[in-house]
Structure 1
């Protein structure tokens, strides 16, 4: 079975979700409570970033400092997202979230007190922003993975869209206080509620091996890599708006905090509207068509930021940017949540968070420097051009069509036939599978085994190759290496999906006899 590459919907579940309201997941009480609590926490963190940016618009080198707020907020995601994803996959997500929210309360209280006391220089403000960004980096993978456990599978894309609704802005000190209060509320909901802890598998993973497994899965999944590529191409130029909009309001339009709030409100209104429109848009456009339309709409809004001199008109023209931002990011997040197997879901989503943070932080810093050296107009025009070009690349690098793929867990390998029980920590281990294939079936067999090889690499093998016997051309041997015996046992237990089973069956069907498996252990 070859991996589909045609443009189209990202998943059958996404298309199914398009037929019902995006608000449907809120009918699930556990999800509704957690969503409102998390929305409040995310609102608080985002509002804090907005307040921090506005506090710096009158500072010397404001172009760089305002952009650095985005960098400080997103940098923790680059550093902590993968460890956070590993923790979320191997421990109780509820306890992890409660601990993080408790720390966020402490940071928010300190930030509020120092701001009210007028003891908040730019450097300290960036440090506090970094700490709050760290809380968000540790929170997101666990929260995103919980969504799959709280709502029906067909509603996951809608739940992801709901997670993108973030709007509001008030005075800076009040923003910081609301952030702390929102974290308190989130922690209380987590403490009071009963939420599923998820399946941690028959063999608990160690932290370092869990991180390696997450990286290995993404590296060997062309579907996930293509999703992440689309995110990078959208967020890198798109970061210009989030980083430099305060300067557009204050310098180009001569507006104060209220004017900046109006522009941000327009973006937020676009996100709300986008969430409501997502089911209809998804039913009329393919995933790739939606990516193209969103990129071009956002590029037009970027140009409007420096070509329109009316605050009210610009606010109207920023609404499509909010719709586009929600459509791209939440569309990809929802598709990932549906596509990723349960055992690696938080780690896969953490890789999305890393890519998003790289685009947001790197783009903010780059566009801040461009604006400082060349001016706001060249910065926004350049960002718009790159956004449009990036959107057009969907014609060359489309999202992969996984319609019909079975993502449910499949336990179909027989228990290993060993003379005595082996320690899961022993390693390295080699597993060989010997096939006998008639010459007429060799081309199809080699094609099928490439998909099997990717499956082995995604689910535990550190390397996997197929060899042909020089003395017997009908004999093929697949050799897979594992760091430990436990890594291979996890494939038997809970890491394979229905699609992996179908690909194994397709390869086995081309062999002249049942394959022969051998498990080789180190002699020491």
Structure 2
């Protein structure tokens, strides 16, 4: 092993991530304040167009499928075909957003979705659309959506100040729900006036608008201090983070509990409208349009509701309201009450979706945020795909009224998950980066990909602090492993009781330097608490003696700008 000494330096002061941030808490921004910023507004419109195109196709496809097939399962399978791709590409797509140029990726994925929409239009114009081709092309369009969704989710909050992150995330959900409401309405009106083919062609134009908006965006990309992670390594790092991030796990469990039951409404609404209410395409579009109007109304008052109720009571109330609208859809066959119920569905949906989105974004630091959001979307959309398949199958045997009633009951039972996994415990300030490491002094340049690297630190602990130190060390282990440690151990010197040696192994020197950038405010509190009851001594870095001596990537990455003590 080649030892590397480390000098002690005072920790750098923590600085706010937003320039000019005031010490006092500013007034809560309005729900629409991020739209005042031109860059955010332009890209938000791009996200809106992307989601609009997806929901136009979903509505038109659902309507076409009711004409092409008489089985409720085929209609429900459209939701599955649209959502299932997230199982296949959700994790790689999330990693792409953290390590590649998001602008180029968004342009490429939007181009793919425009191409698929054009094929749908061509098949519809020539009367060549079949249930199988409709499902296949819906799957292809869902593939593009699954690849681009984590990018939009991670990108929009980075375009605003920290105080506006929650409204920005909410507006991301509003874009989805405006599209969810207006898309079917546009699709229904278009089908009534001109047929499916022009609707699919309009859909292709919507994705063209996305390309236009993203091409106009001139992204500023600072030169990174380290080479980007590899895709497989980035996926593993994201999963490792999720395994040791209780806050993110709470969000994922809450999302799964809601969407597995809540997907029944979206899967069976076309069946109720077409088969049981005999609605025309225009009236079906208006029915779904009520959801979009409800989402807009809910978003306008969401900051006030969240401030008054708190996030957990807000989600509880909205979930109960959503279950009630499912019961109305199950048992009411008069249009006016259903229009009102769909308006309430939009209000409830945006309240739950926005709260979960904000919590998912707040549960992860910037280096892994796209991957955390990708996992959230994997759970949410995957749950929607699996739920749609299950509810569609059950509706074919037991009927839509029994199926929707059962789904509403399961949704209410699922609220018990919130007793233990509270969203209010998720705090963005806990994952802000802080200064907590010192800069190592190297005897010679080190290859950035050389490794493995063994890191050791000695602690002197008094006997009365031993139990407290050992408890805190378990938390330290969790954050070391979360940020890249392959192994971790804590050993006590048999000749000198109270002398502890912490060791952890990291795959490469680059991965250890990334650890220096991943320390959060919550980690800093653990480190400070350990320092208060012990006397941390020298840190040593030991490199595998057989590691390559020459740095293939040059010396520019051999030293990091590190200012954090272990």
Query: In the TM superposition, what is the alpha-carbon distance from 1:470 to its structure 2 partner?
Result: 4.5
Q: How many residues align?
A: 508
Contact 2:81 2:135 in 1 (8 A): yes
Q: 2:350 is matched with which residue?
A: 326
Alignment of 1:376-455 (within 5 A): 376-399=400-423, 401-403=425-427, 405-455=429-479
Residue 34 of structure 2 is matched in structure 1 by: 25
Q: CA deviation at 1:398?
A: 2.1
Contact 1:90 1:204 in 2 (8 A): yes
8 Å contact from structure 1 (residues 216, 458) kept in 2: yes
Residue 164 of structure 1 and its aligned partner are, at CA, apart by: 2.2
Q: Give the Cα separation in 2 of the matches to 1:101 and 1:94.
A: 11
Instruction: Using the TM superposition, give the Cα deviation of residue 225 of structure 1 relative to its aligned residue in structure 2, in angstroms.
Output: 0.7
Tell me by how many angstroms 1:290 deviates. Answer: 1.3
Asked if the contact 1:508–1:515 (Cα under 8 Å) also holds between the matched residues in 2, the reply is no
> Structure 1 regions of 5+ residues with no counterpart?
1-15
Q: In the alignment, is residue 503 of structure 1 matched against residue 526 of structure 2? A: yes
DSSP-derived class of the 2:544 partner:
coil
Rounded Cα–Cα distance in structure 2 between residues aligned with 1:392 and 1:129 = 35
Q: Greater shift after overlay, 453-462 or 343-352?
A: 453-462
Bigger radius of gyration among the two? 2
The Cα of 1:383 is off from its aligned counterpart by 0.3
Q: Spell out, residue by residue over 1:104-154, the C-alpha distance to the aligned partner (whole angstroms, 9 max, x if none).
A: 221111111111111110111111111111111121222222223211112
Q: Where do 1:70-469 residues align within 5 Å?
A: 70-165=79-174, 166=179, 167-168=181-182, 169=184, 170=187, 171=191, 172-197=196-221, 200-399=224-423, 401-403=425-427, 405-469=429-493
SS at match of 2:328: helix
Tell me, yes or no, if structure 1 residue 520 matches structure 2 residue 542: yes
- Structure 2 residue runs of 5 or longer lacking an equivalent are 1-24, 547-566
CA distance in 2, matches of 1:198, 1:131: 34
Q: Say if 1:237 and 1:474 are closer, same or farther in 2 by CA, change over 3 A.
A: same
Distance 1:133 1:200 in 2: 32
Cα displacement string for residues 382-411 of structure 1 (whole angstroms, at most 9, x for unaligned residues): 100010111233123322514583433224
Is the Cα contact below 8 Å between 1:306 and 1:377 reproduced in 2? yes
Residue 50 of structure 2, aligned match among 41, 54, 63: 41
- Tell me whether 207-216 or 445-454 shows the greater mean CA deviation: 445-454
Residue 17 of structure 1: CA displacement? 9.4
Q: Would you say the 8 A contact 1:157–1:331 is kept in 2? A: no
Aligned twin of 1:13: none
TM-score (norm: length of structure 1)? 0.92
Aligned residue for 2:431, secondary structure, equals coil
| Superposition deviation, residue 279 in structure 1 | 0.5
Q: Secondary structure at the match of 1:140?
A: helix
Once the two structures are TM-superposed, the CA of residue 497 in structure 1 deviates from its matched residue by: 2.3
| Aligned-CA RMSD value | 2.1
What is the Cα deviation at residue 61 of structure 1? 5.1
- Aligned partners of 1:313 and 1:521: how far apart in 2? 70
Residues 164 and 271 of structure 1 are in contact (CA less than 8 Å); yes or no, is this contact kept in structure 2?
Answer: no
Deviation for aligned residue 1:73: 0.8
Structure 1 residue aligned with 2:554: none
- Cα distance in 1 for partners of 2:223, 2:63 equals 44
